[in-house]
């Protein structure tokens, strides 16, 4: 009789734990989706401005913190080093929430099989998302 009681309590505890974990995951996912709104349009605007030669406009989509560490000339050199004109397709990964920042890995794809993975870090400045960091990742 004691074994049946222990098994029943164990099963209920396991189900309660699984339910709590599922609830936590759901709340975290909803929080991430809601907080990441506005990042995709910013990313699209950033790459459209770079593609159309409006590098200053793209540079102004970054934070003051970014601009204090990377001047305009360094930014242009960085973009030139990426050789963005080779890539035609953009695929963004799943955003990761880290404190008040959202990190998004973006993969640029060429017509061939070449990929360029970039990590973008976004922060909110006056209720607007801004690029705080761009980092080239090693190709997978």
H or E element at residue 33: helix 2-35
At 29 the pLDDT is 64
pLDDT in tens, the chain (140 residues): 577 767 787 788 888 888 888 877 777 666 656 555 778 889 999 999 998 999 999 999 999 999 999 999 999 999 999 988 888 888 888 888 888 889 999 999 988 888 999 999 999 998 889 999 999 987 65
At 15 the pLDDT is 82
Does 30 share its domain with 64?
no
Does 61 share its domain with 130?
yes
- CATH code at position 67: 3.10.450.100
How many CB atoms lie under 10 A from the CB of residue 120? 21
Give the domain range for residue 50.
Answer: 38-136
**Closest by CA position to 47, among listed 103, 73, 85:** 85
Does 84 share its domain with 63?
yes
At 94 the pLDDT is 84
Does 43 share its domain with 27?
no
CA distance 66 to 120: 12
At 119 the pLDDT is 94
At 1 the pLDDT is 53
Does 26 share its domain with 42?
no
């Amino acid at each position: 009789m004691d074994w049946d009681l222990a098994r029943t309590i164990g099963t209920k505890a396991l189900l309660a734990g699984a339910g709590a974990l599922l609830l936590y995951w759901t709340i975290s996912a909803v929080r991430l989706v809601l907080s990441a709104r506005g990042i995709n349009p910013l990313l699209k605007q950033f790459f459209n401005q770079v593609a159309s030669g409006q590098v200053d406009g793209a540079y102004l989509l970054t934070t003051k913190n970014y601009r204090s560490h990377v001047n305009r000339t360094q930014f242009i050199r960085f973009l030139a080093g990426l050789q963005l004109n080779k890539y035609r397709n953009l695929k963004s990964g799943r955003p990761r929430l880290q404190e008040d920042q959202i990190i998004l890995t973006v993969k640029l794809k060429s017509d061939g099989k070449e990929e360029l993975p970039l990590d973008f870090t976004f922060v909110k400045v006056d209720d607007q998302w801004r690029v705080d960091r761009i980092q080239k990742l090693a190709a997978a």
